[in-house]
Amino acid sequence: MEVHYPNGRKYQDPVISKVAQNNAKKSSYSNRGMTLEEDLNETNSYYLSNGIAVIHKKPTPVQIVNVDYKSRSKAVIKEAYFRQASTTDYNGVCNGKYIDFEAKETRSVTSFPLKNFHEHQIEHMKNVDKLGGIVFVILRFASVDELYLLEGKDLFRYWERMLTGGRKSIKKEEVEKIGHRVQYGWHPRIDYLKTLMSLNLL
């Protein structure tokens, strides 16, 4: 059975294959074979356990419509649909402020495609921003394993540029100039709250 996210991206089984394990062993300290989602989940667990922030990945509601009950212990989902379009990946609170952000990756080394975002996600972030929430995106250029935090107001500007006939992507040079580089660490793995504090947003 194939399940797809609202953005069309195929759901990947969390079980790591032998090939992935071998690649992970060869990976550098900077990524250790982990995905952006895994790194962020580890980071948020660190924030929670140390009383720094409460931030979680939002669950995506799924409607199961067909299950093959070979036995009680071996039920297999044959067909399922996402019940609603997702908003953003993560939300929570830190220092009494609401945080709402999206995390995206690209294999491109020259730009970040705006097609990775959906209109309903942008509208959601704009609404949160209007009400005083802290809105941003974490962008990962997977090929070079670089992370950037891009504030919502900047993402909105590039989105509007696209809607008015401009580029359908954000050039990497633009991300480097407008975004804020986030370095990998150990504990926490991706300390994006430190970046927000340096911007006086927290």
Integer Cα distance of 82 and 62 in angstroms: 4
pLDDT at 64: 64
Integer Cα distance of 64 and 77 in angstroms: 7
Does this model's pTM top 0.85? My answer is no
Domain 18-58+86-198 sits in CATH at: 3.40.1350.10
* CA distance to 1, 86, 87, 161, 167, per residue, from 60 (Å): 18, 7, 9, 30, 30
Torsions phi, psi for 14 (to 5 deg): -70, -10
Cα dihedral 123/124/130/131 (nearest 10): 160
Sign for the pseudo-dihedral over CA of 126, 128, 132, 136: negative
Q: How many CA atoms lie within 13 A of 138 on its CB side?
A: 27
Integer Cα distance of 110 and 149 in angstroms: 17
Q: Are 181 and 198 in contact (CB under 8 A)?
A: no
Could you tell me the residue ranges of all domains in the chain? Answer: 18-58+86-198
pLDDT at 6: 59
Nearest to 81 by CA among 146, 26, 155, 4: 4
pLDDT one digit per residue (tens) for the chain, 202 residues = 555 555 556 655 544 444 444 443 333 334 444 689 999 999 999 999 999 999 999 866 555 666 777 766 677 766 655 444 567 889 999 999 999 999 999 999 999 999 999 999 999 999 999 999 999 999 999 999 999 999 999 999 999 999 999 999 999 999 999 999 999 998 899 999 999 999 999 9
pLDDT at 87: 78
pLDDT at 27: 37
DSSP code per residue over 76-134: EEEEEEESS----SEEEEETTEEEEEEEEEE--SSEEEGGGS-HHHHHHHHHHHHTT-E
Which residues lie closer than 8 Å to 198 by C-beta, 6 or more apart? Answer: 180
Q: In what side-by-side order are the strands of the sheet with 180-182?
A: 54-57, 90-94, 97-106, 134-141, 146-151, 180-182
